[in-house]
Amino acid sequence: MAIMELLAGSRAGLTLPEIARDLDLPKSSVHCLLITLERHRYLHRNDRTSRYLFSSKLFSVANMSLGGLQLRQVAMPHMHSLAKETGLETHLAVLERYEAVLLEKVEPPGASKLAIWVGKRMDLHCTGVGKALLAHLPDEELARLMRETGMPRHNDNTIRSLRKLKEALDRSRQAGYYIDDEEDEIGYRCIGVPIFDESGQSTAAISISGSTSQVREDNFKELARHVMRTAAAITKGFLEHGANPVRELDTPRSA
């Protein structure tokens, strides 16, 4: 962090000896830290001057943080309304690397207590928000993502093959909502719907979750309509604020 703060105050970047001198650290230690930051694409080394500069990834990370904050601000009133209408726990998630990450949750009185918290990372292939985030990925990106994650088995209901996942996503895409029917946790169902950015990508998702006695065959479609209306309202409000949900899907990198 000291290196990053030092570089932030430099207009043209700094060399390894300059950084080590200014921070009063051994060159060998600074070199290891710089190599790590460069490999993770936070810094860029100019081959001609040997000066280290910030790369574009740092700004991407800052924008992701800002975008997540704006998304939560826009989404929360709608999430509270959805929780009140359905009596079910409501979740907001984004895609980060190979998982759905929970940004916010609203838990109405009397709702089933789920083992889920803000910041929790969830598998994509067996959750409502995860499937909603996967739904509009190109086939080759979806295949690569599933190869990387391995599609872990949570129980006998979990989809374990890419072919079956594609079929489920195709059916859900036509309906407009995405289902976790006891695929993540036995006894619980989830209905997820994507939130779109201005380019039409599903870069965030909202869902409701409840027990099988709360989310039933006779009320399923009505509950799904509530979630779809809420997702549309969040998308509209977010785009009107001139922001974009952030979708980060990094390719694997060698250490």
Q: 68-86 pLDDT, tens per residue?
A: 678 888 999 999 999 999 9
pLDDT value, residue 56: 61
pLDDT value, residue 114: 80
pLDDT value, residue 248: 40
Tokens describing residue 230? 């809420």
Q: How far is residue 63 CA from its own chain's centroid?
A: 14
CA distance linking residue 16 with residue 34, whole number of Å = 8
Residue 189 has pLDDT above 50, yes or no: yes
pLDDT value, residue 208: 97
Q: Which domains does the chain have, with CATH numbers?
A: 2-54 (1.10.10.10), 61-240 (3.30.450.40)
Helix axes 220-240, 56-86, angle to 10 degrees: 140
**Exposure on the CB side of residue 8, measured as CA atoms within 13 A:** 7
- Range among 60-69, 90-99, 105-114, 243-252 with highest mean pLDDT value: 90-99
φ/ψ of residue 88, rounded to 5: -120, 155
Per the prediction, the chain carries an average pLDDT of: 87
Q: 92-123 pLDDT, tens per residue?
A: 998 887 889 898 999 998 777 788 888 888 99
Residue 181 has pLDDT above 80, yes or no: yes
The answer to whether 149 and 159 have CB atoms below 8 angstroms apart is no
How far are the Cα atoms of 68, 133, 184, 203 from residue 122, in angstroms, in the given order? 17, 12, 9, 15
233 falls in which pLDDT band (50, 70, 90)?
Answer: very high
The answer to whether 166 and 150 have CB atoms below 8 angstroms apart is no
pLDDT value, residue 61: 60
The answer to whether 65 and 186 have CB atoms below 8 angstroms apart is no
The DSSP line for the chain is -HHHHHHHT-SS-B-HHHHHHHHT--HHHHHHHHHHHHHTTSEEE-TTT--EEE-HHHHHHHHHHHHHHHHHHHHHHHHHHHHHHH-SEEEEEEEETTEEEEEEEE--TT----S--TT-EE-STTSHHHHHHHTTS-HHHHHHHHHHH-----STTS---HHHHHHHHHHHHHHT-EEEESSSSTTEEEEEEEEE-TTS-EEEEEEEEEETTTS-TTTHHHHHHHHHHHHHHHHHHHHHTT-----B-PPP---
